Amino acid sequence: MHKNPSKKYRPFPPVALPDRQWPSRVLTRAPIWCSVDLRDGNQALAVPMNVSQKLELFQTLVKTGFKEIEVGFPSASNTEFTFNRRLIEEHRAPDDVWLQVLVQSREDLIERTFESLVGAKKAIIHLYNSTSPAQRRVVFGMSKNEIIQVAVHGAEWIKERLPRLKGTEVMLQYSPESFSATEVEFAKEISEAVLDVWQPTPRQKMILNLPDTVEVAMPNVYADQIEWICRNIKHRDSLIVSLHTHNDRCTGTAATELGLLAGADRVEGTLFGNGERTGNLDIVAVALNLFMQGIDPNLDFTDLGSIIEVYERCTGMTIPPRQPYAGELVFTAFSGSHQDAIRKGLNEWKSGARAYWDVPYLTLDPNDIGREYREVIRVNSQSGKGGVAYLLESEFGIELPKEMQREFGPIANDAVDKLGREVSGAELKAMFWREYIERTEPWQLQGFETESKNGVVKCRARLLQDGKLVEFSGEGNGPLAALVHGFGNVGVPRFEIANYSEHALSAGEEATAIAYIQIKQGDGRTRWGAGVDTNIELASVRAVLSALNRS
């Protein structure tokens, strides 16, 4: 890297807008959405989609609720042209969906574009030419006036051909490409030159798309650019101001949201942000950002998993595990404290105690986008008792007492740490079973009987101690008290039962019960045990033996 970057790079100049309004505004509704997956997203793929793949992705976009879809650059290749014709001739586009096509300001390309649109119900013709100082100087070698003439000629060629699209409802769109790097005064001037040709009205508006083609500044600068145009351009009431952001500075989402605050009406982007360089705007992220603020995004991501499946199959791209909302791990907590907070928050939500979603670490309910609660908490060596307890309860109905969670959590953590990887719920259950249920040495149950008379319970126990049969009797105010008394009769050091709980594990005639018992020994040490049996009394006895075996 350059030792003194100021000698090589310079900051982007701010926009003179001292009375900017966007910082105090609040979003209250969704914008008009336009998917550019089939054009901008497609041209960024190492292997572009074929016609069949584009058709499948198009249908997914329609099902998701997009009413405007940029279907391609029909003058660029036969594949693009053929795809457009199939959409129209096979009536694949619903009557309320606009097919948007992109074209440069060249007459031959505009001619081919019009040929591709014959018979369409609704069409958006998207004209663009680049306007930034670097593009004017390096690519075109043209003055500002010459660049304006390029845009005007394209607008005129399009207007001349509009009568050829009889029966088609047409909307016109203009983009001063590289708007984000263009002087706002010049962007206004060239856009108004196009307006003068197309002459939009409040009843028949045109789209003015102001792309953040390459992020060259912080998102607040882009917002200033959008607000400046919205406040200064003529015939604002005849325009739909549109945003098209990229992610070069990793702030495409922020730039879009601030641009909407600044007065824009419409957003172009792609599913999951696929696009050139660092990608386009991730429409899923912005839409669900609105959703988690209580705003209907007018897009349906109820089954986000199926959308991901189609997207990955058609594009060959994969969703990063930490992709907002869509990634495999975004609703997953490995941290013990996070897991505990999530588990408690989900329990509160399920109880109906709160009217509005407010679960720690989860900005929205995973169920709203087709995810499962069991996906929320996973366990690795960084996890704590909360995550362990959640998986055992959610997958197997094992409801560990809080004090027992504190004992088993570190035991499970040590075991997972030795494995050096994430573990499944089944593996956690096996760890619990080995630690508590399958402890049979030195004490193992052979038989246990009780009888009750005048409030006194007497027991007869048959046990193996290190393989040798031991029989004893005891009495107390209940079966466990009688068992503890009986152990004292055969010389086992004094202990008492400090905590006890039990619950059913399964339903039906052969329902299994599990008991959890904590014993406290004479020196004050405590140990938990657990036992499983179809008889709750025997499950409790096994839990006492488990605790003794772990002492």
Tokens matching residue 311: 């997207």
Is 18 contained in some domain?
no
Is 14 contained in some domain?
no
Residues 175, 105: Cα–Cα separation, whole Å: 11
Check whether residue 139 and residue 249 sit in a common domain: yes
Amino acid in the structure at residue 502: E
Check whether residue 354 and residue 290 sit in a common domain: no
**Cβ–Cβ under 8 Å, residues 101 and 70:** yes
Owner of token pair 């259950």 = 429
Is 16 contained in some domain?
no
Check whether residue 53 and residue 72 sit in a common domain: yes
- Predicted local confidence at residue 3, as pLDDT: 86
Check whether residue 432 and residue 449 sit in a common domain: no
Q: Which of 286, 315, 344 is the last residue of a domain?
A: 315
**Cβ–Cβ under 8 Å, residues 132 and 182:** yes
Sites in the chain below the pLDDT cut of 70: 373-377, 507-510
Peptide bond into 442 cis (omega under 30): yes
CA quadruple 213, 215, 219, 224: dihedral sign = negative
Check whether residue 427 and residue 463 sit in a common domain: no
Tokens matching residue 198: 């197309």
Check whether residue 212 and residue 301 sit in a common domain: yes
Count: domains in the chain: 3
Write down the pTM of the prediction. Answer: 0.79
Give per-residue pLDDT as tens, 474-486: 999 999 999 999 9
Check whether residue 56 and residue 192 sit in a common domain: yes
Check whether residue 240 and residue 388 sit in a common domain: no
- Predicted local confidence at residue 394, as pLDDT: 83
**Cβ–Cβ under 8 Å, residues 170 and 215:** no
Is 1 contained in some domain?
no
Residues 134, 239: Cα–Cα separation, whole Å: 27
Check whether residue 422 and residue 452 sit in a common domain: no
Check whether residue 409 and residue 476 sit in a common domain: no
Closest listed residue to residue 227, CA positions, set 511, 23, 497, 494:
23
Check whether residue 477 and residue 346 sit in a common domain: no
**Strand-strand pairing, 468-476 and 456-465:** antiparallel
Give per-residue pLDDT as tens, 215-232: 999 999 999 999 999 999
Q: Quote helix, strand, coil % in the chain, to nearest 5.
A: 45, 20, 35
Q: Whole domain around residue 343: which residue ranges?
A: 336-436
DSSP H helical ranges for 352-478: 385-396, 402-419, 425-432
- Predicted local confidence at residue 372, as pLDDT: 75
Give per-residue pLDDT as tens, 127-147: 999 999 999 999 999 999 999
Close Cβ partners of 507 (under 8 Å, ≥ 6 residues apart): none
DSSP state of 188: H
